């Protein structure tokens, strides 16, 4: 009898906890708050409710991965640059986010994006042939997106089946519990990220066209003293540890970009967008040519990745902002793959053309 009473009590406590989270989140999380778009939060990225409630009529979506967390306090980061200009942008992405994550995100919220403006920042490192993109996708899988994606009447049944297959390995989400988890993520994101970072955001005002030439030139000069010119990255980058440098020579010579499933996942992302009447813009980042030459992934192997992405963009008749020509541009990188402040400004100039 005691065991039964204990079980009942545990269930009641659990239901009370869920109810508390439910009402706290509903009463406290922001709605139609442009500042949400500039939070860099994995909890925000995983919450359908938080994203859906804060995408406005003029919101542009910027999707990426680990580069979005570089220089979070600098004007060069798009979260700060576009906010200062009063541009309504929802920024989503962190390390390990790739095409599959963003395809499912677009399947869930694409119908809410009235502006139709989506920019996907591509990293060539997503397309390593030895990397299992599907398992990496699972590290950022948000089950909150599943049911909204399945309810999206603009998606074809074949596209829905492909998305559904991504969730089958871990069983399909329970509607009620997943909703409560999403509310919990929303409350957590608001508590940990939002309240601390909204000060002054409402004061941002669009001041006219951004003078990227001036910003890039000034930033490049200011950053020049930080560069190691041999490897074209910041001298204080973790990679510049002498032990890492010594152990990296030709260590990646067996790797390439051929046969990666990521190319198909990029096609799925494009298809999800197009079925909803959205023409995405791809921004192809370069990777550090000097470092990759040193580690054994030569320019011919890298070219296969760039050429394959160009072909996908051409076949689907979408805009590709191709920055692969910056592989050897001095000061573009802070490490092997991530943009420096100067590099970010060059990327942002391409994005700005499509969202301003």
* Mean of per-residue pLDDT scores for the chain: 87
**Does residue 168 lie in a domain region?**
yes
The secondary structure element, H or E, covering residue 348 is helix 341-355
Percent of the chain at pLDDT > 70 equals 83
**Does residue 318 lie in a domain region?**
yes
**Does residue 265 lie in a domain region?**
yes
**Does residue 189 lie in a domain region?**
no
Predicted local distance difference test score (pLDDT) of residue 14: 52
Predicted local distance difference test score (pLDDT) of residue 218: 96
Predicted local distance difference test score (pLDDT) of residue 237: 95
Count structural domains, the chain.
1
Domain carrying residue 112: 60-179+205-355
HEC string for 240-277: HCHHHHHHHCCCCCCCCCCCCCHHHHHHHHHHHHHHCC
Cα–Cα distance measured from residue 61 to residue 115, given in angstroms and rounded to the nearest whole number: 9
Q: Which residues of 82-96 are buried (b: 16+ CB within 10 A; e: fewer)?
A: bbbbebbbbbbbbeb
How confident is the model over 244-285, as pLDDT tens digits?
Answer: 999 999 999 999 999 999 999 999 999 999 999 999 999 999
Q: How many CB atoms lie within 10 A of CB 14?
A: 10
Predicted local distance difference test score (pLDDT) of residue 201: 44
Predicted local distance difference test score (pLDDT) of residue 221: 96
**Does residue 82 lie in a domain region?**
yes
Using the predicted structure, report yes or no on whether residue 41 has a pLDDT greater than 90.
no
Predicted local distance difference test score (pLDDT) of residue 200: 44
The secondary structure element, H or E, covering residue 3 is helix 2-28
Average of pLDDT values for 27-35? 73
Pick the residue with more confidence: 220 or 39?
220
**Does residue 47 lie in a domain region?**
no
CATH number of the domain where residue 163 is located: 3.40.50.1110
Pick the residue with more confidence: 31 or 97?
97
Predicted local distance difference test score (pLDDT) of residue 173: 64
pLDDT bracket for residue 198 (50, 70, 90): very low
Contacts of 249 (CB under 8 A, 6+ apart): 294, 295, 296
Pick the residue with more confidence: 142 or 239?
239
Using the predicted structure, report yes or no on whether residue 107 has a pLDDT greater than 80.
yes
Contact 185, 144 (CB under 8 A): yes
Predicted local distance difference test score (pLDDT) of residue 18: 53
Pick the residue with more confidence: 355 or 175?
355
Cα–Cα distance measured from residue 182 to residue 175, given in angstroms and rounded to the nearest whole number: 11
**Does residue 53 lie in a domain region?**
no
How confident is the model over 321-345, as pLDDT tens digits?
Answer: 999 999 999 999 999 999 999 999 9
Percent of the chain at pLDDT > 90 equals 66
Least confident range from 25-39, 156-170, 219-233, 290-304: namely 25-39
Least confident range from 36-45, 65-74, 192-201: namely 192-201
Least confident range from 103-107, 135-139, 237-241: namely 135-139
Contact 257, 251 (CB under 8 A): no
**Does residue 195 lie in a domain region?**
no
Total-model pTM = 0.89
How confident is the model over 281-337, as pLDDT tens digits?
Answer: 999 999 999 999 999 999 999 999 999 999 999 999 999 999 999 999 999 999 999
How confident is the model over 112-144, as pLDDT tens digits?
Answer: 999 999 999 999 999 999 887 667 777 888 888
Average of pLDDT values for 88-104? 94
């Amino acid at each position: 009898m005691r065991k039964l009473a204990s079980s009942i009590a545990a269930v009641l406590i659990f239901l009370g906890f869920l109810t508390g989270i439910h009402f706290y989140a509903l009463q406290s999380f922001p709605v139609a708050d442009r500042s949400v778009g500039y939070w860099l939060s994995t909890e925000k990225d995983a919450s359908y409710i938080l994203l859906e409630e804060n995408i406005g009529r003029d919101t542009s979506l910027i999707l990426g991965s680990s580069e979005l967390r570089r220089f979070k306090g600098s004007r060069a980061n798009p979260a700060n640059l576009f906010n200062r200009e009063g541009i309504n942008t929802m920024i989503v992405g962190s390390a390990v986010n790739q095409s599959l994550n963003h395809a499912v995100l677009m399947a869930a919220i694409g119908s809410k994006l009235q502006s139709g403006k989506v920019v996907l920042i591509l990293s060539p490192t997503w397309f390593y042939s030895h990397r299992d993109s599907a398992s990496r996708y699972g590290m950022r899988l948000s089950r909150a997106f599943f049911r909204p994606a399945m309810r999206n009447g603009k998606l074809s049944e074949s596209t829905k089946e492909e998305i559904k297959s991504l969730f089958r390995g871990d069983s399909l989400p329970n509607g009620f519990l997943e909703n409560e988890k999403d509310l919990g993520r929303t409350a957590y994101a608001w508590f940990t990220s939002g309240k601390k970072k909204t000060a002054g955001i409402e004061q941002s005002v669009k001041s006219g066209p951004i003078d990227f030439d001036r910003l890039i030139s000034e930033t490049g000069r200011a950053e020049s003293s930080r560069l190691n010119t041999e490897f074209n990255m910041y001298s204080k980058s973790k990679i510049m540890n002498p032990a890492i440098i010594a152990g990296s020579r030709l260590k990646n010579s067996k790797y390439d970009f051929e046969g990666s499933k990521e190319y198909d996942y990029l096609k799925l992302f494009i298809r999800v967008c197009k079925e909803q009447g959205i023409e995405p813009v791809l921004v192809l980042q370069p990777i550090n040519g000097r470092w990759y030459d040193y580690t054994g992934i030569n320019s011919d192997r890298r070219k296969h990745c760039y050429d394959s992405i160009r072909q996908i963009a051409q076949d689907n008749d979408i805009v590709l902002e191709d920055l692969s020509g910056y592989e050897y541009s001095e000061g573009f990188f802070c490490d092997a793959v991530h943009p420096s402040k100067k590099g970010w400004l060059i990327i942002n100039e391409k994005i700005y053309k499509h969202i301003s």
